[in-house]
Structure 1
Protein backbone atom coordinates (compact mmCIF):
# COMPACT_ATOMS: atom_id res chain seq x y z
CA UNK A 1 0.00 0.00 0.00
CA UNK A 2 1.44 3.39 -0.93
CA UNK A 3 1.35 6.24 1.59
CA UNK A 4 1.40 9.92 0.65
CA UNK A 5 1.35 13.33 2.26
CA UNK A 6 -1.15 15.86 0.97
CA UNK A 7 -1.51 19.58 1.47
CA UNK A 8 -5.08 20.33 2.53
CA UNK A 9 -6.66 23.71 1.82
CA UNK A 10 -10.22 25.01 2.25
CA UNK A 11 -12.41 24.80 -0.84
CA UNK A 12 -15.83 26.24 -0.04
CA UNK A 13 -17.41 23.97 2.59
CA UNK A 14 -14.95 21.16 1.71
CA UNK A 15 -11.18 20.69 1.41
CA UNK A 16 -8.87 20.29 -1.56
CA UNK A 17 -6.23 17.58 -1.21
CA UNK A 18 -3.08 17.97 -3.29
CA UNK A 19 -0.57 15.11 -3.24
CA UNK A 20 2.88 16.27 -2.16
CA UNK A 21 5.13 13.24 -1.74
CA UNK A 22 5.34 9.54 -1.08
CA UNK A 23 6.30 8.49 2.47
CA UNK A 24 7.09 5.26 4.31
CA UNK A 25 5.17 4.35 7.45
CA UNK A 26 7.24 1.28 8.37
CA UNK A 27 10.82 0.15 7.69
CA UNK A 28 12.41 3.18 9.36
CA UNK A 29 9.56 5.47 8.22
CA UNK A 30 7.10 7.69 10.07
CA UNK A 31 6.02 5.07 12.64
CA UNK A 32 9.61 4.34 13.67
CA UNK A 33 10.53 8.01 13.79
CA UNK A 34 7.55 8.83 16.03
CA UNK A 35 8.32 5.87 18.31
CA UNK A 36 11.96 6.96 18.54
CA UNK A 37 10.90 10.58 19.23
CA UNK A 38 9.01 9.23 22.25
CA UNK A 39 12.18 7.63 23.61
CA UNK A 40 11.60 4.10 22.21
CA UNK A 41 9.00 3.15 24.82
CA UNK A 42 8.27 -0.44 25.74
CA UNK A 43 4.57 -1.24 26.00
CA UNK A 44 1.80 1.09 24.85
CA UNK A 45 2.44 4.22 22.82
CA UNK A 46 0.52 6.39 20.37
CA UNK A 47 1.08 9.23 17.92
CA UNK A 48 -1.26 11.53 16.02
CA UNK A 49 -0.76 12.13 12.30
CA UNK A 50 0.65 15.53 13.20
CA UNK A 51 3.19 13.91 15.56
CA UNK A 52 4.18 11.38 12.87
CA UNK A 53 4.89 14.22 10.45
CA UNK A 54 6.72 16.34 13.04
CA UNK A 55 8.96 13.41 14.01
CA UNK A 56 10.02 13.12 10.35
CA UNK A 57 10.54 16.90 9.97
CA UNK A 58 7.63 17.13 7.52
CA UNK A 59 5.04 19.93 7.54
CA UNK A 60 2.69 18.95 10.40
CA UNK A 61 -0.39 20.49 8.76
CA UNK A 62 -0.29 17.96 5.94
CA UNK A 63 -2.48 14.85 5.79
CA UNK A 64 -1.18 11.29 5.53
CA UNK A 65 -3.26 9.30 3.06
CA UNK A 66 -3.18 5.56 2.32
CA UNK A 67 -3.93 4.32 -1.18
CA UNK A 68 -5.27 0.92 -0.16
CA UNK A 69 -5.92 -0.41 -3.66
CA UNK A 70 -3.48 1.17 -6.13
CA UNK A 71 -3.86 -1.62 -8.70
CA UNK A 72 -7.65 -1.48 -8.94
CA UNK A 73 -9.68 0.53 -11.43
CA UNK A 74 -11.45 2.30 -8.54
CA UNK A 75 -10.09 4.68 -5.88
CA UNK A 76 -9.80 3.72 -2.19
CA UNK A 77 -8.15 6.36 0.01
CA UNK A 78 -8.00 6.65 3.81
CA UNK A 79 -6.61 9.52 5.91
CA UNK A 80 -4.42 8.46 8.87
CA UNK A 81 -5.42 10.16 12.13
CA UNK A 82 -3.52 8.19 14.81
CA UNK A 83 -1.17 5.24 15.24
CA UNK A 84 -1.35 3.03 18.33
CA UNK A 85 1.52 0.69 19.02
CA UNK A 86 2.65 -1.90 21.49
CA UNK A 87 6.35 -2.71 21.74
CA UNK A 88 7.07 -5.92 23.61
CA UNK A 89 9.98 -5.93 26.05
CA UNK A 90 12.73 -8.45 25.42
CA UNK A 91 11.48 -9.73 22.08
CA UNK A 92 14.67 -10.05 20.10
CA UNK A 93 12.89 -10.32 16.77
CA UNK A 94 10.90 -7.11 17.36
CA UNK A 95 7.33 -8.04 16.50
CA UNK A 96 5.00 -5.13 17.24
CA UNK A 97 1.23 -4.93 16.80
CA UNK A 98 0.16 -1.57 15.38
CA UNK A 99 -3.31 -0.07 14.96
CA UNK A 100 -3.81 2.64 12.34
CA UNK A 101 -6.84 4.80 13.08
CA UNK A 102 -8.01 6.53 9.93
CA UNK A 103 -10.99 7.98 8.14
CA UNK A 104 -12.55 6.74 4.94
CA UNK A 105 -12.15 9.23 2.12
CA UNK A 106 -13.12 7.01 -0.81
CA UNK A 107 -13.80 3.27 -1.00
CA UNK A 108 -14.02 1.64 -4.44
CA UNK A 109 -15.02 4.98 -5.95
CA UNK A 110 -15.50 5.07 -9.69
CA UNK A 111 -13.93 8.21 -11.18
CA UNK A 112 -14.23 9.73 -14.61
CA UNK A 113 -10.93 10.08 -16.41
CA UNK A 114 -7.53 9.07 -15.07
CA UNK A 115 -7.76 7.65 -11.52
CA UNK A 116 -4.11 8.47 -10.77
CA UNK A 117 -4.66 12.10 -11.73
CA UNK A 118 -7.78 12.15 -9.51
CA UNK A 119 -5.71 10.84 -6.56
CA UNK A 120 -3.17 13.65 -7.02
CA UNK A 121 -5.76 16.43 -6.60
CA UNK A 122 -9.29 15.96 -5.24
CA UNK A 123 -11.97 17.66 -3.14
CA UNK A 124 -13.41 15.82 -0.12
CA UNK A 125 -16.99 17.11 -0.48
CA UNK A 126 -18.44 13.58 -0.90
CA UNK A 127 -16.23 11.79 1.65
CA UNK A 128 -18.09 9.93 4.40
CA UNK A 129 -15.16 10.12 6.83
CA UNK A 130 -16.27 6.95 8.60
CA UNK A 131 -13.73 5.84 11.21
CA UNK A 132 -11.79 2.75 10.13
CA UNK A 133 -8.97 0.86 11.82
CA UNK A 134 -6.22 -1.29 10.34
CA UNK A 135 -4.20 -3.73 12.38
CA UNK A 136 -0.65 -4.39 11.32
CA UNK A 137 1.93 -6.70 12.75
CA UNK A 138 5.31 -5.23 11.97
CA UNK A 139 8.56 -7.12 12.22
CA UNK A 140 11.52 -4.85 11.95
CA UNK A 141 14.07 -6.15 14.46
CA UNK A 142 14.80 -2.99 16.38
CA UNK A 143 12.72 -0.95 13.92
CA UNK A 144 15.35 -1.13 11.19
CA UNK A 145 15.42 -2.51 7.67
CA UNK A 146 12.42 -3.44 5.56
CA UNK A 147 9.07 -4.26 7.06
CA UNK A 148 6.63 -7.02 6.30
CA UNK A 149 3.04 -6.49 7.23
CA UNK A 150 -0.47 -7.57 6.58
CA UNK A 151 -3.59 -5.74 7.60
CA UNK A 152 -7.34 -5.92 8.01
CA UNK A 153 -9.67 -2.92 7.66
CA UNK A 154 -12.32 -2.68 10.37
CA UNK A 155 -15.27 -0.28 10.11
CA UNK A 156 -17.18 0.77 13.22
CA UNK A 157 -19.49 -2.26 13.48
CA UNK A 158 -16.65 -4.81 13.23
CA UNK A 159 -14.42 -2.76 15.56
CA UNK A 160 -17.15 -2.54 18.21
CA UNK A 161 -17.74 -6.29 18.02
CA UNK A 162 -14.04 -7.10 18.53
CA UNK A 163 -13.62 -4.39 21.18
CA UNK A 164 -16.62 -5.50 23.22
CA UNK A 165 -16.47 -9.30 22.81
CA UNK A 166 -15.45 -11.10 25.98
CA UNK A 167 -15.76 -14.86 26.20
CA UNK A 168 -13.14 -15.38 28.87
Structure 2
Protein backbone atom coordinates (compact mmCIF):
# COMPACT_ATOMS: atom_id res chain seq x y z
CA UNK A 1 0.00 0.00 0.00
CA UNK A 2 2.80 2.22 0.78
CA UNK A 3 4.28 1.48 -2.61
CA UNK A 4 0.97 2.29 -4.21
CA UNK A 5 0.84 5.54 -2.28
CA UNK A 6 4.35 6.42 -3.36
CA UNK A 7 3.50 5.49 -6.90
CA UNK A 8 0.44 7.79 -6.83
CA UNK A 9 2.54 10.61 -5.46
CA UNK A 10 5.15 10.05 -8.14
CA UNK A 11 2.46 9.96 -10.82
CA UNK A 12 1.00 13.21 -9.50
CA UNK A 13 4.49 14.76 -9.40
CA UNK A 14 5.13 13.71 -13.01
CA UNK A 15 1.77 15.07 -14.17
CA UNK A 16 2.45 18.39 -12.40
CA UNK A 17 5.83 18.58 -14.09
CA UNK A 18 4.24 17.69 -17.40
CA UNK A 19 1.68 20.52 -16.96
CA UNK A 20 4.54 22.89 -16.15
CA UNK A 21 6.47 21.80 -19.24
CA UNK A 22 3.31 22.10 -21.38
CA UNK A 23 2.62 25.65 -20.09
CA UNK A 24 6.24 26.66 -20.72
CA UNK A 25 6.03 25.15 -24.20
CA UNK A 26 2.84 27.14 -24.96
CA UNK A 27 4.43 30.36 -23.66
CA UNK A 28 7.53 29.84 -25.80
CA UNK A 29 5.38 28.98 -28.81
CA UNK A 30 3.28 32.15 -28.36
CA UNK A 31 6.42 34.27 -27.94
CA UNK A 32 7.90 32.68 -31.07
CA UNK A 33 4.77 33.56 -33.08
CA UNK A 34 4.89 37.17 -31.85
CA UNK A 35 8.54 37.39 -32.85
CA UNK A 36 7.74 36.01 -36.31
CA UNK A 37 4.99 38.63 -36.81
CA UNK A 38 7.31 41.38 -35.63
CA UNK A 39 10.08 40.08 -37.88
CA UNK A 40 7.72 40.10 -40.90
CA UNK A 41 6.64 43.68 -40.13
CA UNK A 42 10.26 44.78 -39.78
CA UNK A 43 11.12 43.05 -43.05
CA UNK A 44 8.28 44.91 -44.82
CA UNK A 45 9.46 48.21 -43.32
CA UNK A 46 12.99 47.47 -44.49
CA UNK A 47 11.73 46.78 -48.03
CA UNK A 48 9.68 49.99 -47.99
CA UNK A 49 12.70 51.92 -46.72
CA UNK A 50 14.92 50.42 -49.42
CA UNK A 51 12.38 51.36 -52.10
CA UNK A 52 12.21 54.89 -50.68
CA UNK A 53 16.00 55.01 -50.64
CA UNK A 54 16.11 53.99 -54.31
CA UNK A 55 13.56 56.67 -55.21
CA UNK A 56 15.57 59.28 -53.31
CA UNK A 57 18.78 58.17 -55.03
CA UNK A 58 17.06 58.55 -58.42
CA UNK A 59 15.82 62.02 -57.46
CA UNK A 60 19.31 62.98 -56.32
CA UNK A 61 20.74 61.79 -59.64
CA UNK A 62 18.10 63.76 -61.55
CA UNK A 63 18.80 66.88 -59.49
CA UNK A 64 22.55 66.49 -60.01
CA UNK A 65 22.02 66.18 -63.77
CA UNK A 66 19.74 69.23 -63.75
CA UNK A 67 22.31 71.13 -61.67
CA UNK A 68 25.05 70.23 -64.15
CA UNK A 69 22.85 71.34 -67.05
CA UNK A 70 22.12 74.64 -65.32
CA UNK A 71 25.83 75.16 -64.63
CA UNK A 72 26.62 74.55 -68.30
CA UNK A 73 23.88 76.98 -69.37
CA UNK A 74 25.20 79.57 -66.90
CA UNK A 75 28.72 79.17 -68.22
CA UNK A 76 27.46 79.57 -71.80
CA UNK A 77 25.47 82.65 -70.80
CA UNK A 78 28.53 84.10 -69.05
CA UNK A 79 30.63 83.51 -72.17
CA UNK A 80 27.99 85.12 -74.42
CA UNK A 81 27.68 88.06 -72.04
CA UNK A 82 31.45 88.49 -72.06
CA UNK A 83 31.48 88.36 -75.88
CA UNK A 84 28.63 90.85 -76.10
CA UNK A 85 30.38 93.16 -73.63
CA UNK A 86 33.54 93.03 -75.70
CA UNK A 87 31.62 93.73 -78.91
CA UNK A 88 29.75 96.58 -77.25
CA UNK A 89 32.94 98.08 -75.80
CA UNK A 90 34.64 97.77 -79.19
CA UNK A 91 31.70 99.48 -80.88
CA UNK A 92 31.60 102.32 -78.35
CA UNK A 93 35.35 102.82 -78.48
CA UNK A 94 35.24 103.01 -82.29
CA UNK A 95 32.39 105.54 -82.22
CA UNK A 96 34.07 107.67 -79.59
CA UNK A 97 37.35 107.66 -81.48
CA UNK A 98 35.75 108.37 -84.85
CA UNK A 99 33.13 110.95 -84.02
CA UNK A 100 33.40 111.84 -80.33
CA UNK A 101 29.65 111.44 -80.13
CA UNK A 102 29.43 111.67 -76.39
CA UNK A 103 31.40 114.91 -76.08
CA UNK A 104 29.65 116.62 -79.00
CA UNK A 105 26.07 115.63 -78.33
CA UNK A 106 25.92 115.34 -74.57
CA UNK A 107 27.88 118.36 -73.30
CA UNK A 108 25.82 121.10 -71.56
CA UNK A 109 26.99 123.77 -74.01
CA UNK A 110 25.85 121.72 -76.98
CA UNK A 111 22.52 120.94 -75.36
CA UNK A 112 21.85 124.62 -74.67
CA UNK A 113 23.03 125.58 -78.18
CA UNK A 114 20.79 122.94 -79.72
CA UNK A 115 17.83 124.03 -77.66
CA UNK A 116 18.37 127.68 -78.69
CA UNK A 117 18.43 126.62 -82.32
CA UNK A 118 15.31 124.52 -81.97
CA UNK A 119 13.38 126.96 -79.73
CA UNK A 120 14.53 130.55 -80.32
CA UNK A 121 12.56 131.99 -77.40
CA UNK A 122 13.98 134.61 -75.11
CA UNK A 123 14.34 133.72 -71.46
CA UNK A 124 11.40 134.49 -69.17
CA UNK A 125 11.34 137.85 -67.39
CA UNK A 126 11.78 137.80 -63.61
CA UNK A 127 8.66 136.79 -61.78
CA UNK A 128 6.56 139.50 -60.21
CA UNK A 129 5.30 138.66 -56.78
CA UNK A 130 1.60 139.10 -56.46
CA UNK A 131 -0.08 139.46 -53.12
CA UNK A 132 -3.04 137.33 -52.35
CA UNK A 133 -5.91 137.92 -49.99
CA UNK A 134 -4.17 135.90 -47.32
CA UNK A 135 -0.97 137.91 -47.66
CA UNK A 136 -2.96 141.12 -47.13
CA UNK A 137 -4.54 139.66 -44.00
CA UNK A 138 -1.11 138.77 -42.67
CA UNK A 139 0.11 142.32 -43.30
CA UNK A 140 -2.89 143.74 -41.41
CA UNK A 141 -2.22 141.45 -38.46
CA UNK A 142 1.41 142.57 -38.30
CA UNK A 143 0.33 146.23 -38.38
CA UNK A 144 -2.23 145.63 -35.64
CA UNK A 145 0.36 143.96 -33.44
CA UNK A 146 2.76 146.86 -33.94
CA UNK A 147 0.00 149.34 -33.09
CA UNK A 148 -0.84 147.45 -29.90
CA UNK A 149 2.80 147.46 -28.83
CA UNK A 150 3.04 151.20 -29.50
CA UNK A 151 -0.10 151.80 -27.45
CA UNK A 152 1.26 149.80 -24.54
CA UNK A 153 4.51 151.76 -24.65
CA UNK A 154 2.59 155.04 -24.74
CA UNK A 155 0.46 153.95 -21.77
CA UNK A 156 3.58 153.07 -19.80
CA UNK A 157 5.03 156.48 -20.61
CA UNK A 158 1.84 158.20 -19.50
CA UNK A 159 1.74 156.67 -16.04
Question: If the length of structure 1 is used for normalisation, what is the TM-score?
Answer: 0.12
Larger Rg: 2
Which one has the bigger strand percentage?
A: 1
User: Which has the larger helix fraction?
Assistant: 2
* Higher relative contact order (CA closer than 8 Å, sequence separation 6+): 1
TM-score, with length taken from structure 2: 0.12
